[in-house]
Structure 1
Amino acid sequence: MEGFFGLALNIILTIYLVIDSKKHGKNPVLWGILGFIFGAIALGIYLIKTDRKVVGWIVTILSIIGYLALILIVGLAILFTVAGFS
């Protein structure tokens, strides 16, 4: 279920970036690919590049914090799996 939610979110972000990039004179193929691969970070950078800096920085910082938290949780899970809970 979580994998489906992440994929659906990336597809929605990709569609938004493709449609909105045409309005701002940006390359829609480039922003579509970046949006699908990098998700929220690409959205934040796109918002910064299209002069919506405050929202762009908020999205970028929150997505980086989220990715770092995910890496920390996975790292701790691996550590506890290898070392054991005792």
Structure 2
Amino acid sequence: MESLISLIISLAFAIFLYIDAPKHNKSRWLWAILGFIFGPIALGIYFIKTGRKVAGWIITILAILFYVVLIIVIVAAFALFANGFS
């Protein structure tokens, strides 16, 4: 179920970038592929490149913070499972 939600969100980013990129003289296929693969980071960079800097920086920073916290949680969980909970 979670992977289906991720796929839908990635497709939404890709579709938005595919439709919006030609309005700013950007390659629609390039930004759609980047949006599908990298998700919110690509969306934030696209906003920065197209002049919507505040929204772009907010999205990019929040996405990076989310990924950093996710990595820390995974490493902590792995350390707990490897060493035991006691």
TM-score in same-fold range (> 0.5): yes
2:59 counterpart residue number: 59
| Matched residue count | 86
In structure 1, distance between residues paired with 2:44 and 2:64: 10
CA-atom RMSD in angstroms? 0.6
- How far has the Cα of 1:69 moved from its partner? 0.8
In structure 2, distance between residues paired with 1:2 and 1:50: 31
1:46 counterpart residue number: 46
List 4+ stretches of structure 1 deviating above 3 A.
none
User: Structure 1: 5+ residue runs without aligned partners?
Assistant: none
**1:68 corresponds to which letter in structure 2?**
V
In structure 1, distance between residues paired with 2:31 and 2:70: 25
In structure 2, distance between residues paired with 1:72 and 1:11: 27
- How far has the Cα of 1:7 moved from its partner? 1.1
- Percent identity reads 52
